[in-house]
Amino acid sequence: MASVRTMQIVGIVLMAAGWGWAGANFTPSGSDWWNYFLHTVPIVILLVFSPCLFSVSDDPEAPGSNGEWAGIGLSIFAGISLLGLSVGIIFGAINPNGAFGVATSGDWVVIVALILGDLLWLTAQFSSRPHRAEIESASN
């Protein structure tokens, strides 16, 4: 179970670093307020959901909440993030000189960090499901 926890933590760190970097990389200076706000929302989501996971105990006898809502929220966030990153890659390939999309090597570094973080998080979540089901059936 320690490897799942490690994957979760590394996934969260990569997502936080990637979204922080994306906010600086994809927001041109002098942009409207909504552009800054749009790039701040993912960091706020990570700050809301992540601390709950760092305080979760590994005790199978602990009450059911156990940070599950935070895990579900981060999984939805990672899925939406992957979808948005895919759209950015497609738009960057179709129109490399456009205002939206992945066009430069600096953009790719950010995107790779975000994709790795999202995939690590989702892999950890799906690989821990059989273990959770085993614990729940044993406690019943």
Kindly report the CA angle at 79 between 48 and 104, in degrees rounded to 5?
95
CB-neighbour burial class of residue 123 (10 A; exposed 0-12, middle 13-18, buried 19+): middle
Q: Give residue 74's pLDDT.
A: 93
**What is the CB neighbour count within 10 angstroms for residue 19?**
23
Q: Give residue 106's pLDDT.
A: 84
Contact 46, 32 (CB under 8 A): no
Residue 23 φ/ψ, nearest 5 degrees = -60, -40
Per-residue pLDDT of the chain (140 residues; tens, 9 = 90+): 458 888 889 999 999 999 988 877 777 778 888 888 888 899 999 999 988 777 655 554 454 455 788 889 999 999 999 999 999 999 889 987 877 888 888 889 999 999 999 999 999 988 876 555 454 555 55
Q: Where are the domains of the chain?
A: 2-52+65-134
